[in-house]
Amino acid sequence: MAFLSLKKRGKVLTLILIIVAIATYFFLPKEKAPIYQTQQITRGDLSKEVTATGKLDAVRKVDVGAQVSGQLQTLFVKEGDVVKKGDLLAIIDPKKAQNDVTESQETNNELKANLQQAQAELRLAQLTYQRQLKLIGTHAIAQDELDRTKTDVEVKKARIITYQAQIKKNQATLDTARTNLQYTRITAPMDGVVTFIKTLEGQTVIAAQEAPTILTLADLDTMLVKAEVSEADVIYLKPELSASFTVLGAPDKAFSGKLKDILPTPEKINDAIFYYARFEVPNEQHLLRLQMTAQVKILIENKKDVLLVPLSVLGDDAGINEYYVDVLVNGQPEKRTVKIGMRTDVYAEVLSGLKENDEVILGETSGDA
């Protein structure tokens, strides 16, 4: 009887343990399994760009100056006027230049008259000398008289040479005076737009060592973009790279060109070093203006239809351009070594380690199982 009682107690105890286990399973808090946030690996285009701020300028811009001194008598243009090459822009008072031409011309005429007289006197002296030379054998004249006549011929020859030199010198002065008279009429050296007028009518210009500027003329049919590129980005630039920009007034309209050059001398702006990268863009409709601000993008590299992985999933370094990446496989994380190529601020090109449609783990959160 005692044995049966113990056996019965054992069954009861077993039953109690089973009930406790079932209650524990259903009523105690369960361990929460992680929920993974993932992104699928897809194909797409990848572009690496250098961004910069720039200013617009004219490719051809000329400061039209005065090459003679005097008062600006007449100004025929105003800012914004369109002019053609050869158009008359301004006139400097020509009175002094005209007087210089007249004076030099009169001096030239006088010297030429003196030369003609000296040539006539020389011919007479030469005839006299020839007659005396024939008479010297007959002793009709003395030797010293013949010598004086010969000397007179040589003196008259020298006088002619002097007059010829003076005429040549004065002719140069006359040519200069005539040129200066032409310089009083200031004409356009090229087609363009008057962008700035520095000297007004009535003001006096003094052309000493360099020509004082009257106005500025610019060809706005082609614009030059000067982009300020940081020293960290300039190493990626080279001529012929594709470049584009927008302006504040038309942020949705892009203007494109090819990189022309990178100026070798940097500019220091607020303790930072920048280099000017320049390119040209057509501007037939003159929508672009001088000194406009340009938001510039220079395309360094462009790849089409490559596998893209977000930079945010790249883990620790696994080698040169290799990183550990967690991939979700059958609901479980799997660590892989991924080799990348070209990269931007957001994505990188996958060279190996991942394939299209793989699920890379961005992060994880806890949740109910």
> Nearest to residue 328, comparing CAs of 29, 32, 40?
40
pLDDT at 2: 46
**Residue with the two structure tokens 């007479």:** 124
Whole-angstrom Cα distance, residue 199 to residue 66? 10
pLDDT at 129: 80
pLDDT tens, residue by residue, 135-182:
776 777 778 787 888 888 899 899 999 989 999 999 999 999 999 999
Task: List, in order of start, the domains of the chain with CATH numbers.
Answer: 36-46+304-367 (2.40.420.20), 51-59+219-302 (2.40.30.170), 94-182 (1.20.58)
pLDDT at 17: 66
pLDDT at 3: 45
Whole-angstrom Cα distance, residue 292 to residue 275? 19
Q: For the chain, list residues with pLDDT below 70.
A: 1-17, 19-33, 137, 209, 366-369
62 DSSP β-pair partners: 217
The whole model's pTM is what? 0.66
H/E run at residue 168: helix 143-183
Burial class (CB within 10 angstroms; exposed 0-12, middle 13-18, buried 19+) of 191: middle
Q: In the numeric block, which tokens belong to residue 216?
A: 């500025």
pLDDT at 153: 87
